[in-house]
Structure 1
């Protein structure tokens, strides 16, 4: 492995060993204090917290929409350029490094951590929402028209395609390179060593890592809380299980307990196992939908999806003179802020499982392959949803009444409804487990100073805390408290946008330096 002779950072060098734990002294306690303080604030003043944080989110989205959009475009272009350039031959971990996971397991883990759970709900709900003018239409196309159907599919793919995966790819690549090729800790601060120098060991580095911890745990807790309400709505819709707070809390408990089991078993016995199960179940559900709606119709939808994505990619990437301001800010800019706020978590987990891959192989797998898979998934599920909406078939013909029910309403019009809907619920729950498990590994790594072999009890602590935050906020403040948490997470997208731009500059600089040292990292690449 290529390492500097005098690294600025060493994994765990500032750690404290106490109570059977091995944690980074400033980052762990300050993160815990900030988390506790926010929970108390959100529980004591849920309405105020929601109002203030929603206002902060709205201000960031309204005044810095140009920054989010320009940055997203830069990330996509940079990833594509790195795939083509000779820099793509650099191998993460050095010339002799070998991948630690099979290609299938590797891809399963990065996809499950990235956005698998979101696709379960929004692949159906989002195209129909745009088509029927549920809070606006992209580029102000006329709702319920053939143009609206094309724009709906193009806009959905725009939100779930190249742009979000480029954000994750750049963060993951930066962290992996500095950890495996420069011998630095696998924490966010390490990516800034070319620019900050020794200051990365002090408070600038501490603040970067603390911000990453807060964004990760708040994002995960929000998803778990809202996911519990969505899963409970699905159980009520399918099996008439009471959609009560008790049901929602029971779902959180079940998911958290299984997550603890997964966390304790580690990557190979935990998150990899559940990620592989996820991919198999998702593939089976995809095959069923394609078969039930006819292969010919799926091929038609796939062609239309590719055409729509290509047609609307540039218009939707534009930030100047947008006439669809409400839709543009409420959907696209919100999504960009959300993806960026999630990037420390997803990027760091992808880095954790990507040692031994070349830069080109990494970017193809993290950027291009997920985009292609998303195209296929959207063509099957989103295409069928739009087909039902256009032909006045089922509940979707009336638009979106509840996002959490859209997938089940679509499956209701196909054979074997109970079986396929049950499979969808299982998929959702397992996606929650893999997200929580991988998130716990990430937070534990950051708060352990970049050590990847910290005591298991620390990972258990963070996994338990995620479930507790979701349950406490859901019980004490309901959707209002969870909404405040989500708004706070999204608001962190603004400072993280600056962080990612700086990180991209540092990455390009470091890769260029590495490429000028032939034989160290590119042999066999």
Structure 2
């Protein structure tokens, strides 16, 4: 007889066994009501006292960033190293869902969905504004380099890529792979708490797990609502810049209503006919816009910038990742640590969505796709958008050269203004922003619904409809009732939630490595690997 390896990850818990069913819904008893109460209290308090809330919560946010800057950076470095190792480790042959599992989506559709959910919105918002900010010293400069110099231009591209490259995707990959492995290989509920089974065992189905899931839902809701609110402002600014339509509250509310309505239709069509179709459309449109900028803009300069961005990213990744003895503390805290806290606060949402659509992929294929491919594409994207903007500034062309970075939400459209077919390209940019928001809202509602349904993936459609409407309603209420102060306050909550979630992710990483190692032993004993 061969060696028998006992499966340590067996549980009698079934997804949704603690659920209640009011009004035909399927809700997890502790998580849903606690989350609902917390969200209502935060939103109502923020609307009543927007300025005071922003001041209080901003203090908590910047306190966490200043005190735990080292913790955020070291943790993010750990996630990158672990993901890189997983690509080459023997456990890379393990398949999500079992060795006979087949992928539900084609590689192209799979990648389009994970990319759209991961950071499509941010790439439209910051691809121009961030390199310009670093180059001109709008808010300090990375590594203390002198602004408006050749070195500043190189470092602006490298530092921008640092914030959008391996580190954020490694954060997403750790969460996504942990959830996918424990849900599809071990039969546990598709919810954040399942990844903590190696540490807590069956206690994870009690209050420790409830707290983890509540924190994940709150961070997701506030992160999505904040992004939807700020995105509505960017789209409104674009319409004002392009067509002269006032970017006031009414227009922003109309945009949120429209995005929510389209997301609602997407939800009703399901994952296959909703998010997949929209993600494929958006990736196609994004590719067309990218090619347009490359060939209509300073083509040779952009191609050179791709090399500059890549080499600067590689050359500066270590000094940018070092939290100690920094000369650029204001920049480091205001950009890098802020970004890491933001990516970590978004990781439950993006990670769970990626897990939901990744069944049938091997660990090696999964990590390579989630970590490496988006980084390579983002290098090209940032080089085209940011490189074009820096070229315009250096040549003294356009509003960015004349006035600098005056309004972040307008920066992309100000770059478009100096290219041919400005109306067409700007309108395509606005459509990209809006559809990215639809896919984020739809995929976000799927994730929130799964957590608040106790990890079930087949809860009633009405619940996802409820969460889509709630995300839009929260964003609209914040803009209408408190404007930038209210949005900033809720954003501060999401960022502050990134601190405890960083510790949670470290434990999740340990559990993932332990689980994969044990799974490999099981499969080898059974002769399947």
Please indicate the TM-score interval, normalised by the length of the shorter structure. over 0.9
Q: Does 1:363 align with 2:372?
A: no
CA contact (8 A) 1:259 1:463 kept: yes
Q: Does 1:283 align with 2:287?
A: yes
CA contact (8 A) 2:441 2:471 kept: yes
CA contact (8 A) 1:3 1:181 kept: no
Q: Does 1:98 align with 2:108?
A: no
**In the TM superposition, what are the counterparts of 1:259-338 in structure 2 within 5 Å?**
259-338=263-342
Aligned pair partner of 2:128 in 109, 124, 143: 124
Q: Does 1:215 align with 2:210?
A: no
Paired with 1:63 and 1:227, the residues of 2 have a C-alpha distance of: 30
**Are residues 312 and 522 of structure 1, via their aligned partners in 2, closer, same or farther at CA, if it must alter by over 3 Å?**
farther
**In the TM superposition, what are the counterparts of 1:29-178 in structure 2 within 5 Å?**
29-178=33-182
CA deviations over 1:64-121 (Å, ceiling 9, x no partner): 0000000010000000001111011110000100000010000000000000110012
Please report the TM-score for the alignment, with normalisation by the length of structure 2. Answer: 0.97
Aligned pair partner of 1:17 in 21, 39, 43: 21
**Are residues 342 and 5 of structure 1, via their aligned partners in 2, closer, same or farther at CA, if it must alter by over 3 Å?**
closer
Aligned residue number for residue 483 of structure 2: 478
CA deviations over 1:125-151 (Å, ceiling 9, x no partner): 100000000110001100000010011
**Are residues 3 and 178 of structure 1, via their aligned partners in 2, closer, same or farther at CA, if it must alter by over 3 Å?**
farther
CA shift, 1:287, in A, is 0.7
CA shift, 1:124, in A, is 0.6
Structure 2 stretches lacking a partner, 5+ long: 1-5
Paired with 1:446 and 1:208, the residues of 2 have a C-alpha distance of: 10
Paired with 1:376 and 1:67, the residues of 2 have a C-alpha distance of: 30
Aligned residue number for residue 343 of structure 1: 347
Aligned pair partner of 2:426 in 418, 421, 430: 421
**In the TM superposition, what are the counterparts of 1:187-226 in structure 2 within 5 Å?**
187-226=191-230
CA RMSD of aligned residues (A): 1.4
**In the TM superposition, what are the counterparts of 1:384-423 in structure 2 within 5 Å?**
384-397=388-401, 398-423=403-428
**Are residues 303 and 5 of structure 1, via their aligned partners in 2, closer, same or farther at CA, if it must alter by over 3 Å?**
closer
Is the deviation greater in 392-401 or in 100-109? 392-401
Paired with 1:309 and 1:170, the residues of 2 have a C-alpha distance of: 22
Aligned residue number for residue 465 of structure 1: 470
CA contact (8 A) 1:473 1:482 kept: yes
CA contact (8 A) 2:9 2:197 kept: no
Aligned residue number for residue 262 of structure 2: 258
Please report the TM-score for the alignment, with normalisation by the length of structure 1. Answer: 0.98
Aligned pair partner of 1:446 in 432, 435, 451: 451
Aligned residue number for residue 503 of structure 2: 498
Paired with 2:214 and 2:392, the residues of 1 have a C-alpha distance of: 46
Aligned pair partner of 1:431 in 436, 445, 456: 436
Aligned residue number for residue 250 of structure 2: 246
CA deviations over 1:147-182 (Å, ceiling 9, x no partner): 100110010000000000000000000000000000
**Are residues 18 and 4 of structure 1, via their aligned partners in 2, closer, same or farther at CA, if it must alter by over 3 Å?**
farther
Equivalent pairs, count:
523
Paired with 1:405 and 1:521, the residues of 2 have a C-alpha distance of: 59
Paired with 1:9 and 1:59, the residues of 2 have a C-alpha distance of: 39
Q: Which segments of structure 1 move beyond 3 Å, counting only runs of 4 or more?
A: 2-6, 519-524
CA shift, 1:4, in A, is 7.0
Paired with 2:8 and 2:188, the residues of 1 have a C-alpha distance of: 9
Structure 1 stretches lacking a partner, 5+ long: none
**Are residues 4 and 99 of structure 1, via their aligned partners in 2, closer, same or farther at CA, if it must alter by over 3 Å?**
farther
Paired with 2:290 and 2:517, the residues of 1 have a C-alpha distance of: 42
CA contact (8 A) 1:94 1:522 kept: no
CA shift, 1:392, in A, is 1.2
Aligned partner of residue 26 in structure 2, secondary structure: strand
Paired with 2:138 and 2:488, the residues of 1 have a C-alpha distance of: 20
CA shift, 1:49, in A, is 1.0
Paired with 2:124 and 2:323, the residues of 1 have a C-alpha distance of: 29
**Are residues 517 and 458 of structure 1, via their aligned partners in 2, closer, same or farther at CA, if it must alter by over 3 Å?**
same
CA shift, 1:518, in A, is 2.4
